[in-house]
Amino acid sequence: MDPELFRRVQPADFLQRQLADGARPDGRPFTATRKMKLNTNSLPNCEGSATLRCGSSLYVAGVRGEIGSPTDAAHPSHGRIVVTTDFSKLCGADFRDEAGPSQNLSVLLSKTLTQLVNHHKAIDLSQLCIKETEAVWVLYVDVVCLEYDGNFADLPLLASVAALRNVRLPVVTYDTSAKAYRRTTDEATQRVHFKSSPVCVTFSRVLDEDAYWLADPTREEEELGTALTVAFVGGAGEREVTPIRWGGAPVDLERVSRRLLPTASRIKEDVYDALLVG
Amino acid sequence: MELNASLFGREKRSDGRFPHQLRPPAVEVGLLHRADGSARFRLGDTSVTVAVYGPSEAQQQRKTLLDRAYVEVLVRPLSGPADAEERSREAILQKIFEAAIDTPRHPRTVVQITVQPMNNDKPMMHVCVVGIYMALLDASVPLRSLPLAVALAYRPLPQGSPDTDFPFLVDPLHTELAACEGCIVIVLDASHRRSKAERDEGDEALPSSAAAAAAAVRRASDAPRGRVLATFPECGGAMPPEVFHTALKVAENACKVLDSFVRLSFERRLTLLQAAFRVQNSHGGDDDDDD
């Protein structure tokens, strides 16, 4: 039978045979990520922006800064960052609210990425203060997926962090007559500093009986399995992680995470951190 | 490596519990007559009502999956319209229960789960998971795994405090969260423990050589089925990996309590049903039904 036809008609069997031979359909080893390319500052109307290409996936992230009032009573000088992900119809993913088993995934993902990006170990939000208790920067990050090929967690987060790292906030003055803060046309120099870039590494657990864990899954690998995402928020010294798994067959997570964490750390440092810096 | 002592906390909390203790659970099963299954599950004061409809015929084309059941979760807020918070809860619960329910058994059907929190407590995802589990049992929906969940707050303590080895608060209250680094929810599969015990029991019936061989095979390729179905942060919970592994053990202990509670609740109901069934049958035969 034609292999392409077999791949479409029996995707699970096709994948199983490939993995039993020790390689994935695109030839990568199990723990390797795809090649990634990051371009920054491509959108002139945003305070910061980034375009991320990974395999056939394409994400565009833009940051727009608005001036708002602090919402956290315990931290009156903290600004905030709000991440919104959008997997519209044109990207080819089936995450729309009304269809299929992945309902509401983009809402959940937005909430999770917002939590990660605002984590106190990753960023000191008081740098976004304009005037304590009155005005702070609220950074709205919109991540749009233009083409989807697996790995819904790592790539939008990378794109958002890259966009945030390239943000240049304008200088702001208080207009007493209008009783509002206005942007000035002075050169925008204020940057957003991350103590450590929050990134996450996703594995897909495919084929329940054999249970292969594949890093940076493509779309077909993701559809045939359940995902485990390891989110890193601490710096190099304190390695603090949050494993995130939203359902699937029961796994011995202690054993699995002992096996996968070194791989995840390596991917984080060698691939993701290097991408964000370089 | 770590002694069992680090699975228990020593210093009492504001409501008198130890750090490793859950609040007392309570449940009312079958309270909604129209639903196929329902349960109102409470952990202390945090309470959730769940209704399960199904597996029933899928009315809409888009909800028809050819090879399995379509699992739909709706979370209704206490007041006001549903917003992003409810939708992200739906997403997580849907993923957990789609894997837990034996969906290939009922293709082209819908299992609809409606969750109504009775108050605004946070964290409450663990209460929702157990509530849904009990409602599914009430509805007799076939399950692949039996999900039990517990929330753990992480608060690293300085050296010298009595609980340095136990930096957790199991089933935290909202007021306790402010002093914590974050909170995670761990969902475990209760069926793992039973199947392992059953395997051990089954060996005794075999002749000794076969039992020894079976035991040897098990030891050699002992891939335990594993227990963790899901884990996710409720409000930002990052911790060092070793601490996370301890958290899994702590969660397992807490889930044992919930497991016994679920069994007791259903066993009582089952014996009542069986007694009622016997009474009903004897009615048909003779008029005396003193039991």
Q: Is the ipTM of this complex over 0.95?
A: no
Closest in A107, A249, A253 to B84, CB measured: A107
Tell me the residue range of the domain where B212 lies: 5-290
Cα of B183 to nearest chain A Cα, Å = 10
How far is Cα B225 from Cα B146, in angstroms, rounded to an integer? 13
Q: Is B158 on the interface with A (CB under 8 A)?
A: no
B145 Cβ under 8 Å from any chain A Cβ: yes
Q: B238 and A241: CB-CB below 8 Å?
A: yes
* CA–CA gap between residue B83 and residue A209 (Å, rounded): 38
The Cα of A107 is separated from the nearest Cα of chain B by a number of Å equal to 6
Residue spans of chain A under pLDDT 50: 97, 99-101
Higher pLDDT among residues B212 and B176, named by residue = B176
Tens digit of pLDDT for each residue in B226-255? 588 888 888 777 888 888 888 888 998 899
Using a CB–CB cutoff of 8 Å, tell me whether A210 touches chain B: no
**CATH number for the domain including B77?**
3.30.230.70
* A266/B contact by beta carbon, under 8 A: no
What is residue A37's predicted lDDT score, i.e. its pLDDT? 92
**Which member of A238, A244, A261 has the closest CB to residue B233?**
A244
Amino acid, res. A189: T
Gyration radius from chain B CA atoms: 22
For chain B, positions 178-237, list CB contacts with chain A under 8 A: 178, 182, 184, 187-189, 191-192, 224-233, 235-237
CB within 8 Å of B279: residues ≥ 6 apart:
B289, B291
Contacts of B240 in chain A (CB under 8 A): 238-241
Residue type, A55: G
Residue B70 touches chain A, beta carbons under 8 Å: yes
Confidence of residue B80 (pLDDT cuts 50, 70, 90): confident
Which residue in A10, A106, A108, A213 has the most chain B C-beta atoms within 10 A of its own C-beta, making it the best mutation to test that interface? A108
Q: Looking at chain B, which residue has its C-alpha nearest residue A200?
A: B238
Asked if the C-beta of B99 comes within 8 angstroms of chain A's C-beta atoms, the answer is yes
Is the pLDDT confidence value at B34 over 90? yes
Choice between B214 and A185, residue whose per-residue pLDDT is larger: A185
Share of chain B above pLDDT 90, in %: 36
CB contact under 8 A, A241 and B228: no
Q: In this predicted model, what pLDDT tens digit does every residue of B95-136 receive, in sequence order?
A: 999 989 999 999 999 999 999 999 888 889 999 999 999 999
Count other C-beta atoms under 10 Å from residue A102's C-beta. 20
User: For residue B114, what pLDDT is reported?
Assistant: 96
pLDDT digits (tens, 9 = 90+) for A48-106: 999 999 988 999 999 999 999 888 888 888 999 999 998 888 888 776 545 444 568 88
CA gyration radius, chain A: 20
Fold of domain A28-277: Ribosomal Protein S5; domain 2 (3.30.230)
When pLDDT is averaged across residues B31-54 and rounded to a whole number, the result is 94
pLDDT at residue number A100: 46
Which residues of B are less than 8 Å from A239 in CB distance?
Answer: 240-241
**Torsion over CA: B68, B232, B81, B172 (sign):** positive
Contact check, Cβ <8 Å, B238/A250: no
Q: Does A74 touch chain B (CB under 8 A)?
A: yes
Q: What is the pLDDT of residue B192?
A: 53
Share of chain A above pLDDT 90, in %: 24
Chain A residues with beta carbon closer than 8 angstroms to that of B84: 107, 110-111
CB–CB contact B98 A101 (8 Å): yes
The answer to whether residue B175 neighbours chain A at the CB level (below 8 Å) is no
Nearest to A228 by CA among B94, B234, B91, B228: B228
Neighboring chain B residues of A231 at a CB cutoff of 8 Å: 233, 238
DSSP B107-168: TTEEEEEEEEESS--SS-HHHHHHHHHHHHHHTT--BSS-EEEEEEEE----TTSTTTT--E
pLDDT, residue B143, reads 92
- Please indicate whether, in this complex, the C-beta atoms of B239 and A240 are within 8 angstroms of each other: yes
Chain A residues in contact with B70 by the CB 8 A cut-off are: 101
Rounded CA separation A89/A101 (Å):
16
Place of tokens 């549903």: B82
User: pLDDT over 70 for what percent of chain B?
Assistant: 84
Q: Domain tally for chain B?
A: 1
User: What's phi and psi for B113, nearest 5 deg?
Assistant: -115, 120
CB within 8 A of A65, min separation 6: which ones? A47, A137, A138, A139, A140, A167, A169, A170
Among A238, A239, A250, the residue with its CB nearest the CB of B229 is A250
| Contact call for B84 and A111, based on CB within 8 A | yes
Contact A74 B225 (CB under 8 A): no
Nearest-Cα residue of chain B relative to residue A198: B238
Between residues B221 and B176, the one the model is more confident about? B176
Exposed, middle or buried by CB within 10 Å (0-12, 13-18, 19+), for A251? buried
**What's the confidence (pLDDT) of residue A95?**
64
Q: With an 8 Å Cβ cutoff, are A248 and B240 in contact?
A: no
